[in-house]
Amino acid sequence: MELPMYDTLLSLPLFQGMSQVDFNSLLQKVRLDFVRYEEGSTIISAGERCKSFAFLINGSVESSRSGMDGNLIFMEQVDAPCLIEPYSMFGRAGSYQRTYTALTPCSFLMVDKQYIYTELGKYNICRMNLLNILSGRVQQLDSHMWTMEGMDLRGRITRFIKGLSDIQTGSKKLCVKMNDLATLMDATRLNVSRELNALEAEGLISLRRKEIFIPALEKLTT
């Protein structure tokens, strides 16, 4: 394996901190499937069963998820390196919650889920990395839920968008009617419109028809 690819694999969330000796041993036991996708290709569809750990190792993809009534669609850019939805790998549903489409030519490393039980679980660092990833997700959602109380409208809008986001940085896109967003925010349409226009005037978002574009989520503060 070429050195740049070797270093890329070691930088992936599940393998960070792993010694080269252990990693070399793991590579001899685990089947690694490398898959390349062209721009515009659908990589994973929402509702698809999670049969493999999907590591984005090169390029960028867009994830999208729709509300149950279809009145809300949220999209965000995901850049390499990234482990796609590890929290969807286990539990009752066991299926992906979002659809992933290639924004650029990109490469994925697929590791069959069975190897989590038979091989990866033998390494403490892999178990701890996975536990930290899953715990971080739970803590993030818990924080978003409990910190909305007492916030002003701007804070609620910002916290709502952050709560939809898997990744707390980078560009996001929220497709929603103003009336529907006002209902979600427990506010009037006029007040929501004023707040969004204020955010746009500050360069934090861009407003389009039925669409809110956030170029850098990390710049939105609550």
CA 185 and chain centroid, separation: 23
Name the residue among 134, 133, 126, 135 with its Cα closest to residue 17.
126
Model pLDDT, residue 140: 76
Q: pLDDT, tens digit, for every residue of 13-66?
A: 888 888 888 888 888 888 888 999 999 999 999 999 999 989 999 999 999 999
pTM of the model: 0.83
CA proximity to 152, closest of 185, 118, 112, 121:
185
Q: Which CATH superfamily is domain 3-61+79-143 in?
A: Jelly Rolls (2.60.120.10)
pLDDT in tens, 69-124: 778 999 999 999 888 998 888 877 789 999 999 999 999 999 888 887 788 778 88
**pLDDT confidence bin for 2, thresholds 50/70/90:** very low
The reported pLDDT for the residue numbered 79 is: 93
pLDDT for the residue 101: 98
| DSSP E strands, the chain | 33-37, 42-44, 52-58, 60-66, 72-79, 82-83, 99-102, 106-112, 172-176, 206-208, 211-214
147-219 topology per CATH = Arc Repressor Mutant, subunit A (1.10.10)
Per the structure block, which two tokens stand in for 17?
């901190």
- 173-201: pLDDT as tens digits: 999 999 999 999 999 999 999 999 999 99
pLDDT value at residue 135:
85
So what's the pLDDT on residue 175? Answer: 96
Domain ranges of the chain: 3-61+79-143, 147-219
Whole-number Å distance between alpha carbons of 126 and 123: 5
pLDDT in the model for residue 190: 97
Model confidence pLDDT, tens digit, residues 121-178 = 788 888 888 888 888 887 877 776 666 667 899 999 999 999 899 998 999 999 999 9
Given a contact cutoff of 8 angstroms between Cβ atoms, the answer to whether 161 and 220 are in contact is yes
Q: What number of H helices and E strands is found in the chain?
A: 7, 11
